Every structure is written in C-alpha cells, then in structure tokens.
C-alpha cells in the first residue's frame, strides 16, 4: 500500500509540474503579446480641411465659435473629393475628424468615397484665439501675436490665445484614444497639424502630413 501511495504521489507531482510549466508558457505568451501591443506604433495620416467659406456666417452675424460653422466652397469640396482618392489612405481603419464644419464636411466626403468609417473627436478642434470665450478682441490680431510669440505665452501678451504647448498636449491626448488602430486618418486644421510636425509648418487646404506615434 505504501508503495502504491508513493507511486500515486509521484505521478501527481509530475502532473502538477507539467501543468505549472504549461500555464507558465501561456502566461509568457500572453504577456509578450500584450507588451507588443503596448509598444505598437500607429500611423496617423493628417489632412487639413478643404477651402472654407464664411459669407453665410457673416451674413447671419455669427461671432466667436459661430464663425466655425462655415462650410466648404465648391473648390473645397473638389479638393476633398480629389484627396479622397489618394492611395495614402489605403488600409486606414478609421477617420477621426474635428467637430468644426469645414473639417467635418471634408472628412464626410473622404468617408463617403473611401467607405472608411468616420467619428468625431472634440479635442481636435481648431486652435483657440480666445481661451476666455468672450471674443471681445480681434481673432486675427490674436493669431498674429501667437505667431510672433512662437506660441509661447508671456504675461505681457494682450490676447488670451491657446499656447502651442497647450495645443500640442490637447492634440496628443486626443490621438491617444486611437492608438489601438494601425492606421488612422485625422481631418482637422493646419495649426492643429503643426503640433505634430513643426510650429512654422504651412499646410495647404487638403494638404497631408504623415506621422507615427
């Protein structure tokens, strides 16, 4: 009986060791896979919106953020349609757009032609010329001050514009939500795109930049 009992214990020990080795192998495989996913880089295809028009919003005397309801011109629509056929979009999994009309309309055109699904990301909206949202001062002058300051706010500045570092932080946080994709189309604004390229990057309507994050 003692011999039989010892044999059973020996066999059980062997089985337990085999199971431990098996589960350890599964754990290591899963851990390595998760680690690779965490390090996976995403390719972002950045697209500036097409040429906009503001005659309608001016006629209605919209001001402040109401100005951003301006849609595309006929030329802007054609720019978006042409860009939608760009082979650079091949294998893109999703289109992420700024909520502003000119960007969202551009993204909708690209989505319609390519068949790539579209979503809206609020924090990809345009650079803010007035972070107080009072819009009491001229936005063009605010932009000129921003350019002269290279996007770095100082106490002596007159206008309450969004700084380049703050804008960059906003954009990068927004794109973090899409790091699970391999390739993403982002339709937004020139200044927004410049936070991922360089401060003085001048981007034409429906111009494209490619970055990997």
CB 157 within 8 A of CB 145: yes
Helix, strand, or coil (residue 207): coil
Shared domain check, 93 and 27: no
Domain assignment present for residue 25? The answer is yes
Region 66-91 average pLDDT: 96
176: its two tokens: 């973090």
Number of domains in the chain: 2
**Per-residue pLDDT tens over the stretch 193-209:** 999 999 999 999 999 99
Owning domain of residue 205: 40-127+162-212
Shared domain check, 114 and 45: yes
Shared domain check, 27 and 121: no
Shared domain check, 54 and 10: no
pLDDT band at residue 24 using 50, 70 and 90 as cut-offs: confident
**Per-residue pLDDT tens over the stretch 150-169:** 999 999 999 999 999 999 99
Strand partners, 52: 72
Helix, strand, or coil (residue 82): helix
pTM: 0.80
Shared domain check, 81 and 21: no
Shared domain check, 80 and 47: yes
Domain assignment present for residue 140? The answer is no
In which region does residue 92 sit, left (phi positive, over 0), alpha (psi from -120 to 50) or beta (all else)? beta
Q: Distance between CA 149 and CA 126 in Å, rounded?
A: 18
Shared domain check, 50 and 12: no
Helix, strand, or coil (residue 209): strand
* Residue whose pair of structure tokens reads 């880089």 in the numeric block: 41
Shared domain check, 52 and 118: yes
Domain assignment present for residue 186? The answer is yes
Helix, strand, or coil (residue 93): coil
**Per-residue pLDDT tens over the stretch 25-45:** 877 766 555 555 555 799 999
Domain assignment present for residue 122? The answer is yes
**Per-residue pLDDT tens over the stretch 132-153:** 988 877 889 999 999 999 999 9
Domain assignment present for residue 58? The answer is yes
- Per-residue confidence (pLDDT) for residue 88, from 0 to 100: 97
**Alpha carbon 206 to chain centroid, angstroms:** 16
Check pLDDT > 70 for residue 73: yes
Domain assignment present for residue 57? The answer is yes
Say if residue 137 is exposed, middle or buried (CB neighbours under 10 Å; 0-12, 13-18, 19+): middle
Region 77-101 average pLDDT: 98
Q: What CATH number is given to the structural domain containing 48?
A: 3.40.50.1240
Shared domain check, 90 and 112: yes
Shared domain check, 84 and 46: yes
């Amino acid at each position: 009986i003692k011999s039989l009992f010892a044999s059973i214990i020996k066999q059980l020990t062997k089985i337990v060791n085999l199971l431990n080795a098996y589960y350890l192998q599964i754990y290591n495989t899963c851990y390595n896979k998760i680690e690779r996913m965490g390090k996976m880089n995403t390719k972002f295809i950045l697209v500036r919106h097409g040429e906009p028009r503001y005659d309608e919003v001016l006629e209605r005397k919209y001001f402040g953020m109401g100005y951003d309801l301006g849609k595309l011109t006929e030329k802007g629509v054609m720019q978006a349609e042409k860009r939608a056929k760009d082979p650079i979009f091949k294998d893109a999994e999703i289109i992420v757009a700024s909520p502003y009309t000119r960007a969202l309309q551009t993204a909708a055109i690209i989505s319609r032609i390519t068949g790539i699904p579209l979503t809206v990301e609020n924090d990809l909206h345009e650079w803010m010329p007035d972070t107080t949202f009072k819009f009491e001062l001229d936005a063009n002058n605010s932009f000129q001050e921003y350019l002269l300051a290279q996007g770095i706010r100082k106490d002596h500045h007159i206008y309450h514009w969004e700084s380049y570092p703050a804008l960059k932080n906003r954009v990068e946080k927004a794109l973090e939500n899409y790091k699970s994709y391999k390739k993403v189309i982002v339709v937004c604004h020139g200044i927004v795109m410049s936070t991922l390229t360089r401060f003085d990057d001048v981007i034409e309507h429906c111009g494209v930049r490619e970055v990997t994050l």
